Structure 1
Protein backbone atom coordinates (compact mmCIF):
# COMPACT_ATOMS: atom_id res chain seq x y z
CA UNK A 1 0.00 0.00 0.00
CA UNK A 2 1.42 3.39 -1.00
CA UNK A 3 1.80 6.16 1.57
CA UNK A 4 -0.82 8.89 1.15
CA UNK A 5 1.83 11.55 0.56
CA UNK A 6 5.22 9.98 -0.16
CA UNK A 7 8.23 12.27 -0.31
CA UNK A 8 9.68 10.12 -3.09
CA UNK A 9 7.34 8.26 -5.43
CA UNK A 10 8.83 6.02 -8.12
CA UNK A 11 6.49 4.36 -10.61
CA UNK A 12 7.29 1.95 -13.44
CA UNK A 13 10.95 3.02 -13.51
CA UNK A 14 12.98 1.45 -16.28
CA UNK A 15 16.62 1.82 -17.22
CA UNK A 16 18.40 0.14 -20.10
CA UNK A 17 21.95 0.25 -21.39
CA UNK A 18 21.53 -0.79 -24.98
CA UNK A 19 19.82 -4.18 -24.95
CA UNK A 20 20.56 -4.72 -21.25
CA UNK A 21 17.57 -3.81 -19.08
CA UNK A 22 18.88 -2.97 -15.59
CA UNK A 23 15.62 -1.71 -14.03
CA UNK A 24 12.44 -3.46 -15.13
CA UNK A 25 9.55 -1.37 -13.89
CA UNK A 26 10.34 -0.37 -10.29
CA UNK A 27 7.54 0.90 -8.03
CA UNK A 28 8.75 2.34 -4.74
CA UNK A 29 7.44 5.06 -2.41
CA UNK A 30 9.35 6.56 0.51
CA UNK A 31 7.48 8.45 3.24
CA UNK A 32 8.84 11.52 5.05
CA UNK A 33 11.15 10.48 7.88
CA UNK A 34 11.43 6.88 6.66
CA UNK A 35 14.71 4.96 6.40
CA UNK A 36 14.44 2.51 3.50
CA UNK A 37 17.25 0.02 2.92
CA UNK A 38 17.89 -1.50 -0.52
CA UNK A 39 19.58 -4.89 -0.43
CA UNK A 40 20.36 -7.50 -3.06
CA UNK A 41 23.20 -9.09 -5.00
CA UNK A 42 25.64 -7.05 -7.06
CA UNK A 43 24.14 -6.11 -10.40
CA UNK A 44 20.56 -6.14 -9.14
CA UNK A 45 20.02 -2.45 -10.02
CA UNK A 46 20.19 -0.88 -6.56
CA UNK A 47 22.78 1.80 -7.31
CA UNK A 48 21.24 2.52 -10.71
CA UNK A 49 17.92 3.13 -8.98
CA UNK A 50 19.52 5.66 -6.65
CA UNK A 51 21.31 7.42 -9.48
CA UNK A 52 18.11 7.72 -11.49
CA UNK A 53 16.46 9.50 -8.55
CA UNK A 54 18.71 12.55 -8.93
CA UNK A 55 19.35 12.04 -12.64
CA UNK A 56 22.99 11.06 -12.45
CA UNK A 57 21.57 8.35 -14.70
CA UNK A 58 18.75 9.13 -17.10
CA UNK A 59 15.80 6.76 -16.79
CA UNK A 60 14.52 4.98 -19.90
CA UNK A 61 10.90 5.07 -18.74
CA UNK A 62 8.52 5.54 -15.84
CA UNK A 63 8.15 8.47 -13.46
CA UNK A 64 9.79 9.84 -10.31
CA UNK A 65 8.15 12.45 -8.11
CA UNK A 66 10.05 14.12 -5.29
CA UNK A 67 8.42 16.56 -2.90
CA UNK A 68 5.73 17.35 -5.47
CA UNK A 69 8.15 17.81 -8.37
CA UNK A 70 8.34 15.61 -11.45
CA UNK A 71 12.02 14.67 -11.45
CA UNK A 72 12.13 13.43 -15.05
CA UNK A 73 10.47 16.54 -16.51
CA UNK A 74 12.50 18.46 -19.10
CA UNK A 75 11.87 21.75 -17.33
CA UNK A 76 13.21 20.76 -13.91
CA UNK A 77 16.23 22.57 -12.46
CA UNK A 78 18.52 19.58 -11.92
CA UNK A 79 21.01 21.49 -9.77
CA UNK A 80 18.24 22.67 -7.47
CA UNK A 81 16.93 19.10 -7.31
CA UNK A 82 20.34 17.78 -6.28
CA UNK A 83 20.62 20.32 -3.50
CA UNK A 84 17.34 19.01 -2.07
CA UNK A 85 18.33 15.38 -2.60
CA UNK A 86 21.73 14.86 -1.00
CA UNK A 87 23.87 11.94 -2.09
CA UNK A 88 26.78 10.17 -0.41
CA UNK A 89 28.90 7.84 -2.53
CA UNK A 90 31.39 5.04 -1.88
CA UNK A 91 34.24 7.44 -2.60
CA UNK A 92 34.38 10.58 -0.51
CA UNK A 93 35.07 13.02 -3.38
CA UNK A 94 36.63 15.63 -1.08
CA UNK A 95 38.96 18.34 -2.37
CA UNK A 96 42.37 17.46 -0.89
CA UNK A 97 43.59 21.07 -0.84
CA UNK A 98 40.63 22.28 1.24
CA UNK A 99 39.97 21.77 4.94
CA UNK A 100 37.00 19.79 6.17
CA UNK A 101 35.12 23.04 6.73
CA UNK A 102 36.18 24.33 3.31
CA UNK A 103 34.77 21.21 1.65
CA UNK A 104 31.50 21.52 3.54
CA UNK A 105 31.04 25.23 2.81
CA UNK A 106 32.09 25.26 -0.84
CA UNK A 107 28.60 24.75 -2.31
CA UNK A 108 27.08 27.10 0.26
CA UNK A 109 29.36 29.90 -0.89
CA UNK A 110 29.70 29.18 -4.61
CA UNK A 111 26.24 27.82 -5.44
CA UNK A 112 23.95 29.36 -2.83
CA UNK A 113 26.07 32.55 -2.69
CA UNK A 114 26.01 32.74 1.10
CA UNK A 115 28.46 35.09 2.81
CA UNK A 116 31.51 33.30 4.19
CA UNK A 117 30.55 33.86 7.84
CA UNK A 118 27.07 32.42 7.33
CA UNK A 119 28.42 29.51 5.29
CA UNK A 120 30.95 28.69 8.00
CA UNK A 121 28.28 28.83 10.71
CA UNK A 122 26.13 26.37 8.74
CA UNK A 123 29.17 24.25 7.92
CA UNK A 124 30.26 24.00 11.56
CA UNK A 125 26.75 22.96 12.56
CA UNK A 126 26.83 20.23 9.90
CA UNK A 127 30.22 18.99 11.09
CA UNK A 128 28.89 19.01 14.65
CA UNK A 129 26.02 16.74 13.54
CA UNK A 130 28.51 14.10 12.37
CA UNK A 131 30.81 14.53 15.37
CA UNK A 132 33.64 16.28 13.54
CA UNK A 133 33.51 19.93 14.60
CA UNK A 134 36.95 19.45 16.19
CA UNK A 135 38.35 18.46 12.77
CA UNK A 136 37.07 21.51 10.89
CA UNK A 137 40.59 22.77 10.11
CA UNK A 138 41.96 19.34 9.12
CA UNK A 139 42.63 18.40 5.52
CA UNK A 140 41.32 15.15 4.01
CA UNK A 141 44.81 13.63 4.07
CA UNK A 142 44.88 14.11 7.84
CA UNK A 143 41.57 12.28 8.35
CA UNK A 144 40.72 8.59 8.48
CA UNK A 145 38.48 7.13 5.81
CA UNK A 146 35.56 7.11 8.23
CA UNK A 147 36.13 10.76 9.08
CA UNK A 148 36.36 11.68 5.40
CA UNK A 149 33.05 9.96 4.73
CA UNK A 150 31.45 11.83 7.62
CA UNK A 151 32.73 15.11 6.13
CA UNK A 152 31.06 14.08 2.87
CA UNK A 153 27.83 13.49 4.80
CA UNK A 154 28.17 16.89 6.49
CA UNK A 155 28.67 18.51 3.07
CA UNK A 156 25.34 17.10 1.92
CA UNK A 157 23.59 17.96 5.19
CA UNK A 158 24.73 21.59 5.02
CA UNK A 159 22.42 22.11 2.03
CA UNK A 160 19.44 21.02 4.17
CA UNK A 161 18.21 18.29 1.83
CA UNK A 162 14.78 16.76 2.17
CA UNK A 163 16.12 13.31 1.26
CA UNK A 164 19.51 11.64 1.60
CA UNK A 165 20.65 8.92 -0.81
CA UNK A 166 23.48 6.66 0.35
CA UNK A 167 25.25 4.46 -2.21
CA UNK A 168 27.40 1.93 -0.33
CA UNK A 169 28.72 4.60 2.07
CA UNK A 170 30.90 2.17 4.05
CA UNK A 171 32.17 -0.19 1.34
CA UNK A 172 35.49 1.64 0.91
CA UNK A 173 36.21 1.73 4.65
CA UNK A 174 38.26 -0.57 6.84
CA UNK A 175 35.93 -2.54 9.13
CA UNK A 176 36.96 -0.67 12.27
CA UNK A 177 35.97 2.65 10.66
CA UNK A 178 32.49 1.63 9.59
CA UNK A 179 30.86 2.16 12.99
CA UNK A 180 31.37 5.93 13.10
CA UNK A 181 29.66 6.40 9.74
CA UNK A 182 26.73 4.19 10.72
CA UNK A 183 26.38 6.13 13.98
CA UNK A 184 26.16 9.38 12.02
CA UNK A 185 23.39 7.80 9.93
CA UNK A 186 21.58 6.62 13.08
CA UNK A 187 21.72 10.17 14.43
CA UNK A 188 20.28 11.50 11.18
CA UNK A 189 17.45 9.00 11.37
CA UNK A 190 16.73 10.03 14.95
CA UNK A 191 16.56 13.65 13.77
CA UNK A 192 13.91 12.72 11.21
CA UNK A 193 15.94 12.65 7.99
CA UNK A 194 14.40 10.66 5.13
CA UNK A 195 16.97 8.21 3.78
CA UNK A 196 17.23 5.69 0.95
CA UNK A 197 20.28 3.51 1.54
CA UNK A 198 22.10 0.94 -0.59
CA UNK A 199 24.46 -1.05 1.61
CA UNK A 200 25.69 -4.51 2.55
CA UNK A 201 25.59 -3.59 6.25
CA UNK A 202 22.86 -6.08 7.09
CA UNK A 203 23.15 -5.66 10.84
CA UNK A 204 22.55 -1.93 10.43
CA UNK A 205 19.55 -2.67 8.20
CA UNK A 206 18.10 -4.96 10.86
CA UNK A 207 18.58 -2.39 13.62
CA UNK A 208 17.79 0.91 11.95
CA UNK A 209 15.64 0.46 8.84
CA UNK A 210 11.91 1.09 8.81
CA UNK A 211 11.64 -1.00 5.65
CA UNK A 212 13.96 -3.31 3.73
CA UNK A 213 13.59 -3.73 -0.03
CA UNK A 214 15.16 -6.78 -1.65
CA UNK A 215 16.05 -6.36 -5.32
CA UNK A 216 17.28 -8.94 -7.80
CA UNK A 217 17.51 -8.86 -11.58
CA UNK A 218 16.22 -5.31 -11.86
CA UNK A 219 12.97 -5.88 -9.97
CA UNK A 220 11.78 -5.60 -6.39
CA UNK A 221 11.31 -9.18 -5.25
CA UNK A 222 10.04 -8.43 -1.76
CA UNK A 223 9.84 -5.62 0.77
CA UNK A 224 8.74 -5.24 4.36
CA UNK A 225 9.93 -4.50 7.89
CA UNK A 226 13.38 -5.86 8.78
CA UNK A 227 11.97 -8.58 11.01
CA UNK A 228 10.02 -9.96 8.04
CA UNK A 229 12.78 -9.76 5.44
CA UNK A 230 15.48 -11.17 7.70
CA UNK A 231 13.33 -13.37 9.91
CA UNK A 232 10.60 -14.84 7.72
CA UNK A 233 10.97 -13.78 4.08
CA UNK A 234 8.12 -14.89 1.84
CA UNK A 235 10.05 -15.33 -1.39
CA UNK A 236 12.52 -18.16 -1.95
CA UNK A 237 15.05 -15.83 -3.65
CA UNK A 238 15.00 -13.56 -0.60
CA UNK A 239 15.48 -16.51 1.74
CA UNK A 240 18.50 -17.69 -0.25
CA UNK A 241 20.12 -14.25 -0.28
CA UNK A 242 19.52 -13.59 3.42
CA UNK A 243 20.89 -17.00 4.41
CA UNK A 244 24.04 -16.39 2.33
CA UNK A 245 24.79 -12.93 3.75
CA UNK A 246 24.10 -14.14 7.30
CA UNK A 247 27.01 -16.61 7.13
Structure 2
Protein backbone atom coordinates (compact mmCIF):
# COMPACT_ATOMS: atom_id res chain seq x y z
CA UNK A 1 0.00 0.00 0.00
CA UNK A 2 2.69 2.50 1.01
CA UNK A 3 4.73 1.71 -2.10
CA UNK A 4 1.72 2.45 -4.29
CA UNK A 5 1.13 5.69 -2.39
CA UNK A 6 4.73 6.71 -3.00
CA UNK A 7 4.36 5.83 -6.67
CA UNK A 8 1.36 8.15 -6.96
CA UNK A 9 2.74 10.82 -4.63
CA UNK A 10 2.22 13.65 -7.13
CA UNK A 11 -1.46 12.77 -7.64
CA UNK A 12 -1.93 12.46 -3.88
CA UNK A 13 -0.48 15.92 -3.25
CA UNK A 14 -2.61 17.46 -5.99
CA UNK A 15 -5.74 15.86 -4.54
CA UNK A 16 -4.98 17.33 -1.11
CA UNK A 17 -4.42 20.79 -2.61
CA UNK A 18 -7.63 20.54 -4.63
CA UNK A 19 -9.70 19.52 -1.61
CA UNK A 20 -8.37 22.43 0.45
CA UNK A 21 -9.10 24.97 -2.27
CA UNK A 22 -12.56 23.52 -2.87
CA UNK A 23 -13.56 23.51 0.78
CA UNK A 24 -12.63 27.12 1.52
CA UNK A 25 -13.51 28.57 -1.88
CA UNK A 26 -15.50 31.83 -1.68
CA UNK A 27 -15.21 32.03 2.13
CA UNK A 28 -13.96 35.18 3.82
CA UNK A 29 -12.36 33.50 6.83
CA UNK A 30 -11.02 30.45 4.97
CA UNK A 31 -9.22 27.95 7.22
CA UNK A 32 -10.26 29.93 10.28
CA UNK A 33 -13.59 28.10 10.05
CA UNK A 34 -11.72 24.90 10.96
CA UNK A 35 -11.24 26.40 14.41
CA UNK A 36 -14.32 28.60 14.65
CA UNK A 37 -16.79 25.82 13.82
CA UNK A 38 -15.93 23.52 16.78
CA UNK A 39 -15.53 26.54 19.08
CA UNK A 40 -18.99 27.85 18.24
CA UNK A 41 -20.41 24.38 18.75
CA UNK A 42 -18.65 24.18 22.10
CA UNK A 43 -20.03 27.58 23.11
CA UNK A 44 -23.60 26.55 22.27
CA UNK A 45 -23.23 23.24 24.12
CA UNK A 46 -21.80 24.99 27.19
CA UNK A 47 -24.62 27.52 27.27
CA UNK A 48 -27.27 24.86 26.86
CA UNK A 49 -25.97 22.01 29.00
CA UNK A 50 -24.05 23.66 31.85
CA UNK A 51 -27.14 24.23 33.98
CA UNK A 52 -28.38 20.67 33.45
CA UNK A 53 -25.25 18.50 33.46
CA UNK A 54 -22.23 20.64 34.34
CA UNK A 55 -22.95 21.86 37.84
CA UNK A 56 -21.17 18.97 39.58
CA UNK A 57 -18.70 18.08 36.81
CA UNK A 58 -15.13 19.31 37.39
CA UNK A 59 -13.61 21.21 34.45
CA UNK A 60 -16.87 20.94 32.54
CA UNK A 61 -15.66 23.10 29.63
CA UNK A 62 -12.68 20.80 29.07
CA UNK A 63 -14.98 17.80 29.56
CA UNK A 64 -17.23 19.10 26.78
CA UNK A 65 -14.30 20.02 24.55
CA UNK A 66 -12.84 16.48 24.78
CA UNK A 67 -16.08 14.99 23.52
CA UNK A 68 -16.67 17.62 20.87
CA UNK A 69 -13.07 17.41 19.61
CA UNK A 70 -13.16 13.65 19.04
CA UNK A 71 -16.68 13.45 17.69
CA UNK A 72 -16.28 16.41 15.31
CA UNK A 73 -13.19 14.84 13.75
CA UNK A 74 -14.91 11.48 13.33
CA UNK A 75 -18.03 13.08 11.86
CA UNK A 76 -16.08 15.20 9.38
CA UNK A 77 -13.76 12.36 8.41
CA UNK A 78 -16.57 9.88 7.82
CA UNK A 79 -18.80 12.34 5.95
CA UNK A 80 -15.98 13.53 3.70
CA UNK A 81 -14.74 9.99 3.11
CA UNK A 82 -18.16 8.62 2.22
CA UNK A 83 -18.44 10.48 -1.10
CA UNK A 84 -14.73 10.44 -2.02
CA UNK A 85 -15.04 7.55 -4.50
CA UNK A 86 -18.15 8.81 -6.24
CA UNK A 87 -16.78 12.34 -6.34
CA UNK A 88 -13.61 11.18 -8.10
CA UNK A 89 -15.16 8.58 -10.37
CA UNK A 90 -14.18 10.55 -13.50
CA UNK A 91 -10.53 10.07 -12.53
CA UNK A 92 -10.35 6.40 -11.59
CA UNK A 93 -12.71 5.36 -14.38
CA UNK A 94 -10.14 6.63 -16.89
CA UNK A 95 -6.84 6.17 -15.05
CA UNK A 96 -5.74 3.09 -13.13
CA UNK A 97 -4.90 4.49 -9.68
CA UNK A 98 -5.42 3.08 -6.18
CA UNK A 99 -8.94 4.09 -5.21
CA UNK A 100 -8.10 4.46 -1.52
CA UNK A 101 -5.87 7.36 -2.58
CA UNK A 102 -8.93 9.62 -2.73
CA UNK A 103 -9.99 8.70 0.79
CA UNK A 104 -6.50 9.25 2.20
CA UNK A 105 -6.28 12.70 0.59
CA UNK A 106 -9.59 13.69 2.19
CA UNK A 107 -8.34 12.57 5.58
CA UNK A 108 -5.20 14.70 5.32
CA UNK A 109 -7.46 17.74 5.18
CA UNK A 110 -9.57 16.66 8.16
CA UNK A 111 -6.45 15.70 10.11
CA UNK A 112 -4.97 19.18 9.66
CA UNK A 113 -8.25 20.68 10.88
CA UNK A 114 -8.12 18.34 13.86
CA UNK A 115 -4.54 19.41 14.64
CA UNK A 116 -5.50 23.09 14.62
CA UNK A 117 -8.47 22.44 16.91
CA UNK A 118 -6.26 20.35 19.20
CA UNK A 119 -3.97 23.36 19.69
CA UNK A 120 -6.98 25.45 20.73
CA UNK A 121 -8.06 22.62 23.03
CA UNK A 122 -4.74 22.77 24.89
CA UNK A 123 -5.19 26.53 25.22
CA UNK A 124 -8.58 25.97 26.81
CA UNK A 125 -6.97 23.47 29.17
CA UNK A 126 -4.65 26.25 30.37
CA UNK A 127 -7.60 28.62 30.85
CA UNK A 128 -9.50 25.88 32.71
CA UNK A 129 -6.52 25.38 35.09
CA UNK A 130 -5.74 21.87 33.85
CA UNK A 131 -2.34 20.68 35.07
CA UNK A 132 -0.15 19.53 32.20
CA UNK A 133 1.81 16.38 33.05
CA UNK A 134 4.13 14.00 31.23
CA UNK A 135 1.12 11.72 30.82
CA UNK A 136 -0.14 13.97 28.00
CA UNK A 137 2.32 12.17 25.71
CA UNK A 138 -0.04 9.19 25.88
CA UNK A 139 -2.59 11.20 23.88
CA UNK A 140 -0.58 10.23 20.80
CA UNK A 141 -1.95 6.71 21.12
CA UNK A 142 -5.69 7.50 20.89
CA UNK A 143 -5.01 10.12 18.20
CA UNK A 144 -3.15 7.58 16.04
CA UNK A 145 -5.87 4.97 16.64
CA UNK A 146 -8.61 7.52 15.88
CA UNK A 147 -7.01 8.41 12.53
CA UNK A 148 -6.72 4.75 11.47
CA UNK A 149 -10.20 3.95 12.83
CA UNK A 150 -11.70 6.85 10.86
CA UNK A 151 -9.86 5.69 7.73
CA UNK A 152 -11.39 2.26 8.19
CA UNK A 153 -14.91 3.65 8.60
CA UNK A 154 -14.29 5.87 5.56
CA UNK A 155 -13.28 2.85 3.49
CA UNK A 156 -16.44 1.02 4.53
CA UNK A 157 -18.77 3.98 3.91
CA UNK A 158 -17.24 4.98 0.57
CA UNK A 159 -17.58 1.41 -0.71
CA UNK A 160 -21.19 1.12 0.49
CA UNK A 161 -22.06 4.54 -0.92
CA UNK A 162 -21.11 3.38 -4.40
CA UNK A 163 -23.79 0.66 -4.24
CA UNK A 164 -26.37 2.24 -1.91
CA UNK A 165 -26.82 6.03 -2.09
CA UNK A 166 -29.27 5.88 0.83
CA UNK A 167 -26.28 5.35 3.11
CA UNK A 168 -25.76 9.14 3.31
CA UNK A 169 -29.16 9.69 4.93
CA UNK A 170 -28.90 6.68 7.20
CA UNK A 171 -25.43 7.75 8.33
CA UNK A 172 -26.68 11.25 9.22
CA UNK A 173 -29.31 9.73 11.50
CA UNK A 174 -26.79 7.28 12.95
CA UNK A 175 -24.31 10.07 13.74
CA UNK A 176 -27.02 11.95 15.61
CA UNK A 177 -27.78 8.85 17.67
CA UNK A 178 -24.07 8.19 18.20
CA UNK A 179 -23.52 11.71 19.54
CA UNK A 180 -26.16 11.11 22.23
CA UNK A 181 -24.62 7.74 23.12
CA UNK A 182 -21.06 9.09 23.43
CA UNK A 183 -21.54 10.98 26.72
CA UNK A 184 -20.27 14.21 25.18
CA UNK A 185 -22.23 16.56 27.45
CA UNK A 186 -23.18 14.29 30.36
CA UNK A 187 -21.48 11.81 32.68
CA UNK A 188 -22.37 8.12 32.99
CA UNK A 189 -22.06 8.02 36.79
CA UNK A 190 -25.83 7.84 37.25
CA UNK A 191 -26.03 4.52 35.40
CA UNK A 192 -25.54 1.08 36.90
CA UNK A 193 -22.25 -0.74 36.48
CA UNK A 194 -23.74 -2.81 33.67
CA UNK A 195 -25.04 0.35 32.00
CA UNK A 196 -21.62 2.00 32.26
CA UNK A 197 -19.94 -1.01 30.70
CA UNK A 198 -22.43 -0.85 27.81
CA UNK A 199 -20.96 2.53 26.81
CA UNK A 200 -17.69 0.78 26.00
CA UNK A 201 -19.44 -0.94 23.10
CA UNK A 202 -19.30 2.49 21.45
CA UNK A 203 -15.78 3.05 20.01
CA UNK A 204 -16.19 6.85 19.95
CA UNK A 205 -16.95 6.89 23.67
CA UNK A 206 -13.78 4.87 24.29
CA UNK A 207 -11.70 7.48 22.42
CA UNK A 208 -13.36 10.32 24.34
CA UNK A 209 -12.95 8.52 27.66
CA UNK A 210 -9.23 8.00 27.00
CA UNK A 211 -8.76 11.75 26.43
CA UNK A 212 -10.65 12.62 29.61
CA UNK A 213 -8.67 10.15 31.69
CA UNK A 214 -5.37 11.74 30.63
CA UNK A 215 -6.39 15.40 30.53
CA UNK A 216 -8.89 15.76 33.39
CA UNK A 217 -8.15 12.82 35.69
CA UNK A 218 -4.37 12.69 35.02
CA UNK A 219 -4.46 8.89 34.97
CA UNK A 220 -3.16 6.45 32.38
CA UNK A 221 -5.81 3.97 31.17
CA UNK A 222 -5.32 0.29 31.87
CA UNK A 223 -3.78 -2.19 29.47
CA UNK A 224 -7.25 -3.61 28.78
CA UNK A 225 -8.40 -0.13 27.77
CA UNK A 226 -5.49 0.18 25.32
CA UNK A 227 -6.26 -3.24 23.85
CA UNK A 228 -9.95 -2.38 23.44
CA UNK A 229 -9.01 0.76 21.53
CA UNK A 230 -6.63 -1.25 19.36
CA UNK A 231 -9.31 -3.87 18.70
CA UNK A 232 -11.84 -1.31 17.45
CA UNK A 233 -9.17 0.31 15.27
CA UNK A 234 -7.95 -2.94 13.73
CA UNK A 235 -11.50 -4.22 13.18
CA UNK A 236 -12.66 -1.05 11.36
CA UNK A 237 -9.54 -0.72 9.22
CA UNK A 238 -9.37 -4.45 8.48
CA UNK A 239 -13.01 -4.57 7.39
CA UNK A 240 -12.56 -1.47 5.24
CA UNK A 241 -9.51 -2.91 3.48
CA UNK A 242 -11.31 -6.22 2.93
CA UNK A 243 -14.27 -4.45 1.30
CA UNK A 244 -11.98 -2.53 -1.06
CA UNK A 245 -10.15 -5.70 -2.07
CA UNK A 246 -13.36 -7.68 -2.54
CA UNK A 247 -15.43 -5.08 -4.41
CA UNK A 248 -12.71 -3.00 -6.07
CA UNK A 249 -13.46 -4.40 -9.53
CA UNK A 250 -17.20 -3.64 -9.18
CA UNK A 251 -16.89 0.07 -8.38
CA UNK A 252 -16.59 1.04 -12.06
CA UNK A 253 -19.97 -0.51 -12.86
CA UNK A 254 -21.89 1.58 -10.32
CA UNK A 255 -20.41 5.09 -10.66
TM-score normalised per structure 1: 0.24
More strand by share: 1
Q: Which has the higher helix share?
A: 2
- Larger Cα-atom Rg: 2
What TM-score results when the alignment is normalised by the length of structure 2? 0.23
